Every structure is written in C-alpha cells, then in structure tokens.
Amino acid sequence: MLIQHDRLTAFVTEIFIAAGAEAAVAREVADHLVEANLKGHDSHGVGMTPIYVYNINGGRLKAGAHAKTIVDQGAVLLIDGQFGFGQVVGREATDLAVARARETGVVCAGVRNCHHLGRIGAYGERCGAAGLVSVHFVNVVGHPPQVSPWGSGERRMTTNPFCAVVPQPGGPPVVLDMATSAIALGKVRVAHMKGEAVDEGVLVDHEGRPTTDPAVMYEKPFGALGPFGKHKGYGLAVMCELLGGALAGAWTAQPGNERNNNVVNNMLMFVLDPAVFGGVEAFQSEVREMVAYLKSAAPSPGFDRVRVPGEPELESAAKRRVDGIPIDGNTWQELLKAAAAAGLLEGRISELTS
C-alpha cells in the first residue's frame, strides 16, 4: 500500500502519545521516522515503531527523558541520553554541539545511552544546515551482536553506522550516512518481512557459508551479517565500536556488558565550523567545483548519472512526498498491533487508518 506522509505521521504520533510520550516528543519521533521513509530508508522508518512501543512498555525506553550534560569543558561535551527517544536526545545533543561549535570553532561531543537514534544522517544534516562539518561514529548495544568481523562467521558487533557531512554553499549538504555492515540490519528485516532474498555477499549461515536468506538473522540456527567492503569496512566498524562505544558510551558489544533486549546507540560526534581555518570562501568554492567535477563523469552502463552521497535520499523524498510511502503488508500489520499495544483505542485506530 501507498500512504501519504502526513497521514502516516499523524498515526505514528498518536501511537507514541498513547504509549505515554508528550505530544511534542511523539511528533518529533514520528517526523524523524517518516522522514527516513521519505528518504528511502524504510529500515529506519515507521517500521521501528513496534520495537519502540515494546521498549516503552518494558521500561527500556524512557519516553520522557531528555539529554543531560555530564561533562562540559569548552570544546568537549559528554551528554547522556538517559535512554530517551534517540530522535529527541540525539537532536538535543546535536543542538548543544552546534551551539558550542559556533563559540569554539570545533566540538567533540560524546553522546551515550540513547535509545535507537534512527537515521544518523538526521543529526549530520542538522549540522550541515547550520553550515558546519560533522563526523559521527556510532555503535549499537543492548542486545546480542549480529555482525561478524572480517574473517569469521561469528557475531561480534552490530551495524555500527558512520556519517560525515559537508555543507554546500547554496545547496543541500553532502551526506555520507551508512551502516558499516554490508547492509543495514533493518534492510534485512524489511526483506524478511517481504519474503525476499538479500543480495549475495551480505549474509552467512550458522556455519559461515554465504546465503541470501534473511531468515538466518531471525530464526535458529542463527547466521550473521558481514561487514561492507571486506577488511576496510570491518576496520571502520571497529572504529565506530571503539570511538562511539568504548570512548563516548563506555559500552561496547563485548559480552561483559548488559544485553537486555534494548536498542541503544552511543555516538562520538565531531562538529567543525569551516570558518576556523580562515578560508571559508576557498573551501566553499572547492566543494562546489569538486562536486560538479564528480558529477560530470560519464555514467557507466546501468547508471543514469553520477551522484554525490545524500542525493539519492533527496530524490527519494521528492518522489515519495508526491506518490506516498510504500508500506508492505507485514509492516502495516505490525504497526496496527503496536497501536493496540500502545493503548490506542480500536475506534481511533480505524479513524486514523481508514
């Protein structure tokens, strides 16, 4: 089915209000999730709602929590998300880092104990919109690992996203925002929901043999998701674990740490005002010229044109704002169940969804 983004936002907002969130918080989370759908990342869109409701009901997601500053030393901030909605505490932490970067030129901010932050690009884009550069190393904890290190089929890490953003004068920022696993786990979940196979080279079964069946991530005997880009992607994932997890979060995926069915993100974020180097105009001009140079390359067979990171998301959003957001039948059923589990009355669910 195709559903218009504003209807989906209204429905998901009411689910979170029914689950106990304040209206403004519920709306912010719904906006973030629907924006992920609009940008083509259904893995991080409204399909996450059932997990969030489950975690609120289980006391693992604190719907009323806000970002709390733990360390404030000029260009260094450490912020605790207190297990609040990542979409809220992550945005609050980003706003603190942006405001501080305007004073100090550069900020290194650790952000720990956030319930799922969702699409990391959302925080990078906020920095980019403020004219700032940002780099984000993130790990994911609170549940058993799903991603194998390069050279093994055994699970040791999670999908550890990395994001880097460069503002463009007069245009949208260049946004690299990606899982360091071969694909985002949520994309395996979406394929599993749809009963589709994933690409080769993404998954291994419980004996470490390649497979395209997403069920190995959800049904015993479990397989694993591999890193992207062989040893190099694995290396970047390790840095997300050590910088986002060990340094910012003091919580990595190693088995001595708590695994309680939660989805917790820790993030180390660097935010830089390009003006500190004194050559903003030269920087902007080089960004503009280099982006144009990249995009002038002739497309290979099977490609319509060359893009820079962040462009596919903008194209998807432009299309889906008009056409609506595709929601598969399983995801829709899970959303309806989540609405009931949140305490939304049946009559109201019908009003919102008919």
Residues forming contacts to ligand NAD in the complex (CB under 6 A) are 41, 43-44, 116-121, 140, 159, 161, 175-179, 183-184, 187, 265, 307-310, 312-313
Give the contacts of 48 (CB within 8 A, at least 6 positions apart). 33, 116, 118, 186
Comparison of 260 and 350: residue with beta carbon closer to ligand NAD:
260
Alpha helices in the chain (DSSP H): 5-18, 23-38, 49-57, 86-104, 121-129, 185-194, 230-239, 280-295, 311-323, 329-342, 346-353
Q: Which is nearer to ligand NAD, 305 or 321 (CB)?
A: 305
CB of 103 to ligand NAD, least distance (A): 28
The distance of closest approach from Cβ of residue 297 to ligand NAD in the complex, given in angstroms and rounded to an integer, is 11
Question: Which DSSP category does 304 fall into?
Answer: S
- Minimum gap (Å) between residue 169 Cβ and ligand NAD: 19
Which residue lies nearer to ligand NAD by CB, 20 or 229?
229
Nearer to ligand NAD, 100 or 126 (CB): 126
**Least distance in Å: CB of 200 to ligand NAD?**
16
State the chain's maximal CA–CA distance in angstroms: 60
Strand-pair category, 210-211 with 2-3:
unpaired
- CB 58 to ligand NAD: min, Å: 18
Closer by beta carbon to ligand NAD, 71 or else 294: 294
Minimum gap (Å) between residue 348 Cβ and ligand NAD: 30
Q: At what angle do helices 311-323 and 23-38 cross, to 10 degrees?
A: 110
Q: How many CA atoms lie within 13 A of 39 on its CB side?
A: 23
Q: Smallest distance, Å, CB 195 to ligand NAD?
A: 20
Q: Return the bridge partners of 177, or none.
A: 163
The DSSP code sequence of 223-280 is: -EEPBTTHHHHHHHHHHIIIIIIIIIIS--SSTTS-BSS--EEEEEEEEE-GGGGT-H
Q: Which is nearer to ligand NAD, 131 or 245 (CB)?
A: 245
Q: In this structure, what is the dihedral angle of CA atoms 318, 323, 328, 329, given to the nearest 10 degrees? A: 150
Sign of CA dihedral 21, 16, 50, 325: negative
User: Nearer to ligand NAD by C-beta: 98 or 183?
Assistant: 183
Measured CA to CA, the distance from residue 272 to residue 97 in angstroms comes to: 10
